[in-house]
Amino acid sequence: MTTDPPFAIEVSNLTVSYNARPALLDVSVRIEKDQLVGVIGPNGAGKSTFIKAILGFVKPDLGTVKIKGIHAKNAKGQVAYVPQRGAVDWDFPITVQEVALMGRYQQIAWYSSPCKKDRDAAMEALDMVRMANLAHRQIGELSGGQQQRVFMARALAQGSDILLLDEPFAGVDAATERAILDVLERAKKSGKTLVVVHHDLSTAAEYFDKLLLIKQRLYAYGEPDIVLQEDLLSQVYEGRLKIFKDVIKKERN
Amino acid sequence: MFDLFVAPLTETYFQKALIGGSIVAMVAGVVGCLVVLRRMAFLGDALSHAMIAGVAGGYLVMKLFFGLEAHAPGMLLGSLIAAVTTVALISFVSRISRVKEDTAIGIMYTGIFALGVVAVSIFRHYIHIDLMHFIMGDILGVADTDLWVSAFVAAGVLSLILLFFRHFQLSTFDPIMAASIGLPVVFLDYLFTTCVSLVVVSAVSMVGVILVVGLLITPAATAYLLSDRLDKMMMLAALFGVTSVIGGLYLCVWLDSAGGGAIMLFCTLQFLVVLTVAPKYGLLARWMRLRNLVPQQVVEDVLTTVLRNGKPASPDLIRKYAGEGKGLQKALRRMVQDGLLRHEGQDYSLTDKGEKEASIVLRAHRLWETYLKSIGTPEQEVHATAHQLEHLDQTQTLAYLDKKLGSPKTDPHGKTIPTK
């Protein structure tokens, strides 16, 4: 019997650059299984690039990414991905159900069509995020939170153990944020590892088990109270620390 | 009538134009859907212009090395090579330099087009191509070889798109996910560009360099206005392509005009008609939606007026409390349609649904009054301010107010606060 590798994602010496501008510099981190991990950092810190590098969509200049102990190149489909809302073409002629069905594409051989089993799996995933009743809507007709949930259903339908989410909480109201968090926590309970790009420091400690603080370089990775240190945050966020002092205080109490 | 429609059909040139044009337009429509969704319309233009260099090159090579005059497959291969080279150059330039893609397309296609024009004019004693023929196309003079070429291209491209439908759909919609499940995204991009080049090459001899991009994108854009699924959009685009060719050819025979021009004119008119009348994304539908829009505030004011009145309210009474004007008439009509109000002779009364909504607003109003009073708002301002606040969307706020005020039964004026 083989033992499972202990880490869901292992990133070592990851360096990515766009033209001459470095997006990520020498990032090494190991993310354990069954964690809800928040990726935080200011705008343009390379958070989305980090996600895309794990997915194998951007080629690193240097460094390697391993998924469950296997080199990312050979671990296609092990990682499911929920895109940032702004990155999706909401006018695309596609229905909610078809988006969820995309989660099954990797299981379908190239010469055959989706069968009933695939459709059922897609509907089941939509059910999990409570979107089954809107299955035949075009995706542009949904509210922000509903749109987010459709893509979550797609990721769940993929059946991967690792989910990467790019800013799922951006531009949704408080009630929707709760609903999304609820889905994330249920996914974690069912044994999934989630890596979530997050922009709101004030809720970071409450939502996540571990935090990952990046700005090109990796500044810290660990429990929220280790990462949310005043000196660390001041290095990363430069001068905009006043607001965060309250956050840290709240965290201490 | 008979002469108008059937007489042209008996002419061989018309039959060939109809068959060839329909085949090309059908496949162009299907491929065009992906061109539109990938925002590559400009690239289609680039490909068609780049072809002229390829045609000249193919012609020269075949003539100089094999002594064959105007060898069609040679020219076809040449234009395909030119098209793919253009695409490769474009993506190379936009990837490694700071020049953006649209600029790179502009540079490369004019450059290669110019190369073609110069080559054709230098070797004008060897190359017997009529540039105008190439630029304008000649659908009424379609040769049998052209027909065969376009039939093979159509069959090949359509089977590719059908077979790899899901791959093209996913890599167009979400290339990041496509890459993450191991689809060869870059290869698919090149495969697709090759398909577009093939379609463009087979269509240029019929409608010409300038109009071919229209045949590619206009039927697809027309279909885009009518469908919410990619497979349906492709079928509609193919249909619109074929109808453009049929309509355009008749137009060209009747008016004795240029074939390619008539087809594109018909195609564009078709687009404009659909743009106007499309049930969901059309201009008329949009205008109707805007016209039927009734401010929620007016609706809520009418509801509470009728509820406070306790019995069916006359239009005059409603006008007194809920505002004047044409907007009110529209609102009343709309509310009867939506099942909020009921006619009682001249008067209006609330339906069950209307009563439920009215009491929610009234509850908001009276809770706000109670709250405003409790924080010491002057008596004369309480009603007016509450009247503003009652229209906010506020389930949670109301629950909070209710709790904070200890679930009061009556408002400061002694009136009952409706329960939830």
User: Do A76 and B182 make contact, defined as CB atoms within 8 angstroms?
Assistant: yes
A102 shares contact with chain B (CB less than 8 Å): yes
Is the same domain home to B275 and B344?
Answer: no
The pLDDT of residue A1: 42
Q: Which of B287, B320, B340 is the last residue of a domain?
A: B287
Residue listed under structure tokens 């949904």: A142
Question: Closest approach of chain B CAs to the CA of A69, in angstroms?
Answer: 17
**Per-residue pLDDT reduced to its tens digit, B246-256:** 999 999 989 98
Domain containing B64 — which CATH number?
A: 1.10.3470.10
B positions 386-415 inside 8 Å of A (CB): 396
Is the same domain home to B278 and B368?
Answer: no
User: Do A105 and B181 make contact, defined as CB atoms within 8 angstroms?
Assistant: yes
User: Do A77 and B173 make contact, defined as CB atoms within 8 angstroms?
Assistant: no
User: CA-nearest residue of chain A to B166?
Assistant: A105
Residue listed under structure tokens 């109270």: A225
Is the same domain home to B327 and B387?
Answer: yes
User: Do B228 and A95 make contact, defined as CB atoms within 8 angstroms?
Assistant: yes
B170, B179, B227: residue with CB nearest A93: B227
**Per-residue pLDDT reduced to its tens digit, B127-186:** 777 777 777 778 888 888 888 888 999 999 999 999 999 999 999 999 999 988 888 988
* Residues ≥6 apart with Cβ < 8 Å to A129: A149, A150, A152, A153, A156, A183
Name all domains of chain A by residue range, CATH numbers in brackets: 1-77+163-170+196-253 (3.40.50.300), 79-159 (no CATH)
B175 shares contact with chain A (CB less than 8 Å): yes
User: Do A108 and B176 make contact, defined as CB atoms within 8 angstroms?
Assistant: no
The pLDDT of residue A4: 62
List CB contacts (< 8 A) between B230 and chain A.
92-94
- B409, part of any domain: no
Is the same domain home to B278 and B382?
Answer: no
Give the total number of structural domains in chain B. Answer: 2
Is the same domain home to B277 and B367?
Answer: no
Cα-based distances in Å from B178 to A53, A55, A216, B173: 14, 10, 26, 9
- B420, part of any domain: no
- Hey, of B40, B174, B236, B395, which one would you mutate to test binding to chain A, going by the most A CBs within 10 A of its CB? B174
Interface confidence, given as ipTM, is 0.86
Is the same domain home to B318 and B258?
Answer: no
Is the same domain home to B53 and B141?
Answer: yes
List CB contacts (< 8 A) between B227 and chain A.
93
Is the same domain home to B250 and B311?
Answer: no
pTM: 0.81
Ranges of residues in chain A with a pLDDT under 70 are 1-5, 239-253
Is the same domain home to B236 and B336?
Answer: no
- B376, part of any domain: yes
User: Do A55 and B180 make contact, defined as CB atoms within 8 angstroms?
Assistant: yes
User: Do A56 and B233 make contact, defined as CB atoms within 8 angstroms?
Assistant: no
User: Do A56 and B166 make contact, defined as CB atoms within 8 angstroms?
Assistant: no
User: Do A93 and B37 make contact, defined as CB atoms within 8 angstroms?
Assistant: yes
Ranges of residues in chain B with a pLDDT under 70 are 1, 70-71, 324-326, 393-394, 420
Is the same domain home to B324 and B256?
Answer: no
- B348, part of any domain: yes
Question: Closest approach of chain A CAs to the CA of B91, in angstroms?
Answer: 15
Range of the domain at B363: 296-404
Q: Which of B232, B254, B287 is the last residue of a domain?
A: B287
Is the same domain home to B270 and B367?
Answer: no
User: CA-nearest residue of chain B to A85?
Assistant: B174
- B71, part of any domain: yes
List CB contacts (< 8 A) between A97 and chain B.
none
B176 shares contact with chain A (CB less than 8 Å): yes
Is the same domain home to B12 and B143?
Answer: yes
A19 shares contact with chain B (CB less than 8 Å): yes
- Percentage of residues of chain A with pLDDT beyond 90: 30
A18 shares contact with chain B (CB less than 8 Å): no
Question: Closest approach of chain A CAs to the CA of B370, in angstroms?
Answer: 27
Task: Dig out the tokens for B96 from the structure.
Answer: 């490694």
Domain containing B324 — which CATH number?
A: 1.10.10.10
Question: Closest approach of chain B CAs to the CA of A6, in angstroms?
Answer: 22
